[in-house]
Homo-oligomer: A and B are copies of this chain.
């Protein structure tokens, strides 16, 4: 599928940046420092600024650029990488202080920031372009930064009201950071991220909150499903509060829709929860209609969930690509995965995707190895011959 050269091929664009500096990055958290590192690596001159001297020094020491000082040349681009609740104010100040610069922000919400900028920027609004690089991680701060954070990720560009040259400058910036520019309107963006990011974040937290008072024996039964549903519940509370407040309209609308579905589900299953000897049970309808009604309510949610889940694009974008999954028992995953991949390599098979599934109290894991369908049977036979236990069919 791909050679080892691809590893080095990733760096092809370095030193051939379209962006002409200097670029001033305001805010040296995870996103700002990562972007500064990527631009510096691409040969762009980067100036840094942050209200925290500690964070600023850390970003400088990581090689992200140098702190902007009085007398430095005016930046051609200013990137505002502050928390979303202060982004608009910092954008407005940047438009004023750097009257020839194109200014962008990387906040996860775009409509509110753009509205505030439009309301107060005057003619400067034509130099403002909204951005949202779809990159991040559960850790935050400059210390978690990486020049490859944006590699291959979508970077939403909101150019409404901006000069075409200004928009082009930010497109080039996104490409120089390794991202893929995607043009969207501010409202369209905010509704999209409410659905694919903000609402799922809050619901994951709501599910995880139910575990707070659960006993140890109950928790010991937790499996991979619960882990997956609640993984993002570990995300940063302060950042997410600012994001959701900044996108309250679209998020509230989705949560209300979800609550309507939840109410219908509850109305369906609550009669089935009643004691069959209780007067409420008798009053809730003929007994023989209760179970089918509950099944109908549950099935409705499940079927619509299938339809929605199937629409999520696969790893290469577009429609989900169908790989064959070879499942292999890894007796104690520690130390055995290297041997497994060695044996897969000897079989001459490319691994398209990989996941390891565990349960509580379990030292063994199931390695789920995705390969092209034509390669699956041969791989299963090769692994079987090497003594691996291939699971299922």
Contact = CB atoms under 8 A, between A and B. Distances in A.
Contact of A208 (B10, B306, B337, B340): B306
Interface string A41-71: 0000000000000000000000000000000
A237 B302 contact: yes
Interface in A134-192: 134-135, 137, 139, 143-146, 148-149, 151-154, 156, 180, 182, 184, 188, 191-192
Given A298-B241, A342-B341, A144 B258 contact: no
B207 A192 contact: no
Given A152-B363, A364-B10, A302 B223 contact: no
A205 B302 contact: yes
Contact of A211 (B212, B309, B331): B309
A205 B303 CA distance: 8
A388 B230 CA distance: 31
B331 A9 contact: yes
Interface string A286-298: 0000010011001
Interface string A229-253: 1111111011011101100110111
Given A1-B332, A364-B151, A225 B205 contact: no
A242 to B, nearest CB: 8
Contacts of A149: 391
A97 interface: no
A152 B223 CA distance: 12
B261 A262 contact: no
A230 B231 CA distance: 11
A273 interface: yes
Interface in A339-392: 339-342, 344-345, 350-356, 358-365, 387-389, 391-392
B2 A336 contact: yes
A143 B294 contact: no
A8 B387 contact: yes
A80 interface: no
A323 B238 CA distance: 26
A335 interface: yes
Interface stretch (A21-29, A86-94, A121-129, A312-320): A312-320
Contacts of A234: 306, 309-310
B237 A299 contact: yes
Interface string A253-281: 11111110111011001101100000000
Given A251-B269, A364-B152, A311 B4 contact: no
A335 B370 CA distance: 11
A227 interface: yes
A209 interface: yes
Contact of A262 (B212, B255, B294): B255
Contacts of A143: 392-393
A73 interface: no
Given A7-B387, A205-B304, A225-B232, 4 more contacts: A4-B336, A4-B339, A200-B225, A317-B361
Give 10 nearest A-B pairs by CB, closest first. Answer: A205-B305, A192-B218, A341-B341, A211-B308, A317-B361, A338-B345, A152-B362, A237-B302, A248-B273, A209-B304
